[in-house]
Structure 1
Amino acid sequence: MAASVAGESLSSPTGTRTASGSDAGGANRDRRGDKLTDLPTELLEHILCLPVLEHIDICNVSCCCLRLRDVCHGRGKVWGHQYKLRWPRLQRFYPQNESCDWLREYKTRHRVGIQIRRTVGSISKRFFMEVPCIGQVLGDTFAEIESLGMPEHFCEDELLFILQAEKRKSLTLKYYAKKILYFLRQQNILRALKSFLEQPPEQQSALAGAVLVDRYCNPLADVTLDGISAQLDDIAEKVKKTLRVKNPSHPSLRVAPGGERLPLEDLELQRQVVCALNAVLYDQLQYKGDQLDYYNPLNSYIHQVLLRRKGIPISLSVVYMTLAQRLGVKLEPVNFPSHFLLRWCQNERGSDDIYDYVYIDAFGKGKQMTAKECEYLIGHQASADYYGGIGTTDVLLRMVGNLLNIGKRGESNEKSYQLLRDTLDLFLTINPDNVPYLLLQARLYFHLGIWPEKVLDILQHIQALDPSQHGAVGYLVQHTLEHIQHKKHPAAPEVKRRGAADHRDVRYSVGLVMKHKRSGYNCVIYGWDPKCTMSQEWITTMRVHQLPDGAEQPFYNVLVQDGTCRYAAQENLEPHSAPLEIGHPEVGRYFCEFAHTHYVANDELRTRYPDDSDQMEETARHLYPHARPPTPM
């Protein structure tokens, strides 16, 4: 059907008829229905909702005449369709049957998108030379966005939109979008944690708290309390099936999925539940304590415990206790040293006597022990204080403390530092006046060279809490102020040109995908020096002097596939025979695109190595003459 938006004639579906013969007399009649604007509103809306039309088309159509403007009104179907087509993830924020000004929402969401992209794009220019601390970077910019009164979920949706763009392109934009999304979600989770901690203790669920810890450390993962609860419901249903075989009339069988019943008073009924729980969790589903990789942080995250079916004592105890509670058995967490336990009262009236309890080791396949037998776990006698039940806040402090210790014992890399920063944030949200951890947080930020203004705030808080720390505080204050002063007068970045006399031996360019001849790892070059610039101690430790060309040859900064950053000698590197993408988290900080045979330096890296881009293109053509160009999207 051919039609114009301004009301021109429509041709008949069966062909154009002549005005001669029997139709001649009707030539002057009012020909209803042969204008687009004469079509019923429902049909016009259907036409204007065709997927080939974009928002610009709808704007143009609505400017044609009053009739089409009315059809394209803000609360109508047409703009609702445009909004849902472009931003489908946002539909959950709008009740289905509620009227909405879709045109206004579209404009607002569009403005947010422009502002977010402007913000993300500006970060690399401002902070390329520093360790990106998004909390510090975003301060003024997001205060400006918040002042516009725009919904926060619009900001998150635009960041996700950036992250889901074509895989090999816009790498720098994606790098900072990911960091911003990480930060924004963490701020929301911290607010949720503070609200959780303000609840009365009897309303605080250990599972809900553990999920908040999990989400804060994994803000980009799809982890929700509802999702975790649904998985536990499935396990609880399996326990009921086993229980039904033993006792078809058991009261716990009448508990609805997701519901919790009052604790069972009869000890025999409780034993039946615990027995069925052990059979399902450990025999049928094969849950176990991770003895081989005990200090893997995944063992502390509830969603990973359910996915991998293994964990450490405290995470498995939270799962076990939650399942037991849903089936009518009340268990209490016990902050036993070195090995978290649960206790189960054998006295129907309750008791303060530690010998009236059975102690359950969720890490040890639900093994039941007396108070005396628990001492074999730690190899020495334990006082009665260790056997007492604890509240949810103490459970979370123990859980976060475990993660914090993993971060402290980890390697000095971005992953360990991030875990340490995240767990310190959590610990100090729960226990904000812990001086040792406040001091650790200040030292960590100082060591990383990030957020000096926050370091001063932390140090001021420490001084108020404990004046005896004035020595450590004074040292950090002095050097932090020097850092702030230095930032006000930053040194210009060193520019390395190929034509310089001492750069003539540099064979490779930034962006080239390499392979290490000795270690076999794949990597990409993001910087180079005409000779080794590391200390003599490093040169000796790494046995650089044993290389044929020693320390006087060019050395390259490389991002390695395993997530590490290394400093490699030129004689140990060779161009990769079949270049592939390097899965390093920092790739986007230096490169904007993977061009099939090499990485393309972003503007900031190109400023430091202005001659490398042309050299890189020439090298790529020489090394990979038959490589196919990237497929256009």
Structure 2
Amino acid sequence: MASKANTLLCLPPEILIRILSSEVLQDVDVCNASKACESLCQICCCNEIWKAKFQRRWQSGLSTDKASLPPGGWLELFKVRKTIFQQVQKLVKTLAAKNYHREEVSNESFHDFLQLGELHERGLAFVLEDLHDILECDRYKRLTDKYYSKKAVYFLNHRRLEEEWTSFLSLSQEQQSMEKGAVMVSDWMRPLQRVSLSGVSRQLDDIADQVRAALKLKSTDHPACFKDNSHTGFVENLWTVDQCREVLLTLNSVLFEQLGFKGNHANYYLPENSFIDEVLEQKKGIPITMSIVYASVARRLGVVVEAVNFPKHFLLRWKEHPMATGVDQYTFVDAFNNGKFHSHKSCRSELLDFSDVFGEDIFYPTTLAKLFERSARNLVSIARAFADSDDHIRLLRDGVALYLAISPHDRDMKMLQTRIFIHLRINLKDVIEYLQTLPPREGIPSLIHECEKQLLMNQTPPEEPTPKHRADFTMVKFSVGMVMKHKRYDYMCVIYGWDFECQASSEWILQMGVNRLENKHRQPFYNVLVPDGSNRYAAEENLLYTRDVCTIGHAEVGKFFEEYTGRHYIPNPYKAKEYPDDTPVTKTLIDNFFTSGE
């Protein structure tokens, strides 16, 4: 038996802790070392070791405050965190297995992720971190995992933000932050961007600093130059009327002239105009987001400007004439048009149609709840206006859900959401439950019956498609996973299915001019994904090999493919089961093409 002098135990405990904390040793190595003897086991349970392992592996920014740790300290936290990591990987695989044959994933499919998030007070954040790690790993691999991870991120982020909206709206108007709400809108609609309030606030702080510097050049004794004002906790302007006006004029100069912010007149209906982080990056926005930027910076400089839900526009107002009465007290600011100042009379004459008849209430301030309702409604309108775009359903679905997170009892939006779910054949239990609360007016009973019928179909395991073996279809020239170019329309695409001859209806054949093709409908036809988001059905004679191979930016690529090799796509197990011979055929065809020199 070796003496203690020849073992690790001869080293001081602090040296052993440094060794065991090394990045060279994984958590399993430390666990194995702990089995050697009781003394080493005690050292291996040291908080310092597991704190190092945790922070090195996950980089989660978890507070080191003891209050944030479970009773077992860092070792117990590491165990919980690793359990969550392992289960997330399994659940993502399960999503693919259960939903491959479905058009969309129902909310109930994500409930296991929610339960996993309950293992720790920050469990949901850990789950989201693991899902984001999947999305950000090797760009060309784990495409199916990425496809379902993205859907899980949307669902879980919305659940998290629903609670945040409830908390936000329960605050008094004075406690609510315009920029906080704007960040939640952006985060809701684009959870993959991981927009942070701290990042947006820093950008607004920087603009305020630039305004402060410019103000100091013009008025060295202006109080806003010397006090880095908190932008919370006050409801009235901090300065005199003249001083406030000077602040706003300087803000206009810096924001619109020096920094180049402007209303996006040319591309008004882009969804990005509604996202505060995009507006700060691109320096373009619509009236609401431009007003949020303007008001947030003004508040940092001690000037209160209130939001006004003006018809067909959005304005701000500040109290320039406190001795006047009613709306005459206020000057109105059009942040969409370079911060132009208006009286209420010029607002009517310049911003409203001659035929418009409105009372004075159009000049009253709005609540932040109403402001963000309008922002969500704008996004819904954009989605409806661009119904031909590839992501309009996602935009419409998320915009409606955002509106309902802010105003959950709006019947029109709730009914629109119900129809979206019916169209996608998802969340049907929730749909039925909601429809049963409505009066049995015309159409409701039939909708309930339709949902119950579809729900029963969803609960029945889908029939496995009959595998297509190439030996039975020797006339088929191309194969699943090949990246091709369309001869006539010049688009790139990837093949995800094929038929030995056209299986479309005779009406479609006539409409698409298939009868004018050389081989007409009696040739193989291929299901292809196109970068514009469309799924098309292409004749074999129209598909060409190409050396200009590229990834296909279609949302459903990950549903069917596991990996992109740089020349072709590799089907995932579910697609490979449908076309069991195509994977090796694709590799052979592509390799032969690239080595042929053609």
Alignment partner of 1:385 is 2:342: no
Amino acid at match of 2:241: L
In the alignment, which of 343, 355, 359 is matched to residue 370 of structure 1? 343
Q: State the secondary structure of the residue aligned to 1:68.
A: helix
Cα distance change on mapping 1:625 and 1:96 into 2, 3 Å? farther
Residues 389-447 of structure 1: per-residue CA shift (max 9 Å, x gap):
21111111111111110011123455111111111111112222222211111111111
Q: Which runs of 5+ in 1 are unaligned?
A: 1-5, 9-31, 628-633
| Equivalent residue number for residue 446 of structure 2 | 475
- The answer (yes or no) to whether the contact 1:124–1:172 under 8 Å persists in 2 is yes
Distance 2:89 2:467 in 1: 30
Alignment partner of 1:116 is 2:88: yes
Cα distance change on mapping 1:61 and 1:275 into 2, 3 Å? same
Amino acid at match of 1:472: G
1:441-480 to 2 correspondences below 5 Å: 441-461=417-437, 463=438, 467=439, 470-480=441-451
Alignment partner of 1:555 is 2:529: no
Distance 1:372 1:537 in 2: 59
| Equivalent residue number for residue 172 of structure 1 | 144
| Equivalent residue number for residue 22 of structure 1 | none
Distance 1:418 1:108 in 2: 34
Residues 295-335 of structure 1: per-residue CA shift (max 9 Å, x gap):
00000101100000000111101111122222222222111
Q: Which runs of 5+ in 2 are unaligned?
A: none
Amino acid at match of 2:45: H
In the alignment, which of 172, 192, 207 is matched to residue 235 of structure 1? 207
Q: How many residues align?
A: 589
- The answer (yes or no) to whether the contact 1:230–1:258 under 8 Å persists in 2 is no
Cα distance change on mapping 1:71 and 1:524 into 2, 3 Å? same
Distance 2:282 2:539 in 1: 40
Alignment partner of 1:331 is 2:305: yes
In the alignment, which of 367, 373, 385 is matched to residue 397 of structure 1? 373
Q: State the secondary structure of the residue aligned to 2:538.
A: strand
Tell which structure's C-alpha radius of gyration is larger: 1
Alignment partner of 1:516 is 2:486: yes
Alignment partner of 1:145 is 2:119: no
Give 1:88 deviation, angstroms: 2.2
Q: State the secondary structure of the residue aligned to 1:592.
A: strand
| Equivalent residue number for residue 557 of structure 2 | 587
Give 1:143 deviation, angstroms: 5.4
Alignment partner of 1:156 is 2:128: yes
Distance 1:194 1:475 in 2: 34
Identical counterparts, % of pairs: 35
Alignment partner of 1:566 is 2:536: yes
So what's the TM-score if we normalise by structure 1? 0.87
In the alignment, which of 484, 493, 496 is matched to residue 526 of structure 1? 496
In the alignment, which of 75, 85, 88 is matched to residue 103 of structure 1? 75
Cα distance change on mapping 1:37 and 1:422 into 2, 3 Å? same
- The answer (yes or no) to whether the contact 1:580–1:597 under 8 Å persists in 2 is yes
Compute the RMSD of aligned alpha carbons: 2.5
Cα distance change on mapping 1:495 and 1:625 into 2, 3 Å? farther
Alignment partner of 1:315 is 2:289: yes
Residues 483-514 of structure 1: per-residue CA shift (max 9 Å, x gap):
1122233551332424576x443221111111
Distance 2:530 2:2 in 1: 63
Distance 1:434 1:400 in 2: 13
Q: State the secondary structure of the residue aligned to 1:443.
A: helix
| Equivalent residue number for residue 406 of structure 2 | 430
Amino acid at match of 2:454: H
Give 1:349 deviation, angstroms: 4.6
Q: State the secondary structure of the residue aligned to 2:318.
A: strand
In the alignment, which of 57, 61, 83 is matched to residue 54 of structure 2? 83
Q: State the secondary structure of the residue aligned to 1:44.
A: helix
Alignment partner of 1:411 is 2:387: yes
Amino acid at match of 2:34: S
Alignment partner of 1:361 is 2:334: yes
Amino acid at match of 1:410: F
Q: State the secondary structure of the residue aligned to 1:220.
A: helix
| Equivalent residue number for residue 570 of structure 2 | 600
Q: State the secondary structure of the residue aligned to 1:527.
A: strand
Distance 1:134 1:52 in 2: 42
Residues 319-366 of structure 1: per-residue CA shift (max 9 Å, x gap):
1112222222222211111111112333225742x3443221111111
Residues 516-544 of structure 1: per-residue CA shift (max 9 Å, x gap):
22222222111122333334444444333
Give 1:258 deviation, angstroms: 4.6
In the alignment, which of 20, 34, 38 is matched to residue 48 of structure 1? 20
Cα distance change on mapping 1:483 and 1:72 into 2, 3 Å? same
Q: State the secondary structure of the residue aligned to 1:291.
A: coil
Give 1:289 deviation, angstroms: 0.8
Residues 360-381 of structure 1: per-residue CA shift (max 9 Å, x gap):
1111111112223223323224
Alignment partner of 1:136 is 2:108: yes
